[in-house]
Amino acid sequence: MMQLLDLMDDLVTASTALAGLILVFMGAIVSAYEAYAPADQEKVKARYWQRACFSLTGLIMALASCVTALVAKGLNSPWLALLTLILFAFTLITVLVTSCFYVREIR
């Protein structure tokens, strides 16, 4: 379990980088929504709202994994380090699904 604690510094860096990427996704979502005419925005609002909420969930998980990594390292807690790794894995899945949303939109 000590090897897992050694990864916490790397997970702090990776989590903050992933949070930045998710912020870029959220900016793209807002920009794409704002590109519609005000009359058309209501028609597409549900789709963009879902994407924005999904991205926000990923952002919260990325920041939570960053904080738990710092606390796990500070408290020398292998169980908290494991929780951090699980949170980070879910964040990666969230980013993958969000990316798939964008690829599907290109079609």
Predicted pLDDT of residue 1: 60
pLDDT tens track of the chain, all 107 residues? 668 888 899 999 999 999 999 999 899 889 989 999 999 999 999 988 988 998 899 999 999 999 999 999 999 999 999 999 999 999 999 889 888 877 887 76
The count of structural domains within the chain is 1
Give me the DSSP letters along 18-70.
Answer: HHHHHHHHHHHHHHHHHTS-HHHHHHHHHHHHHHHHHHHHHHHHHHHHHHHHH
56 vs 82: CA distance, rounded Å: 23
Range of the domain at 84: 2-106
3-state class of 4 per DSSP?
A: helix
Predicted pLDDT of residue 24: 92
Predicted pLDDT of residue 98: 81
pTM: 0.85
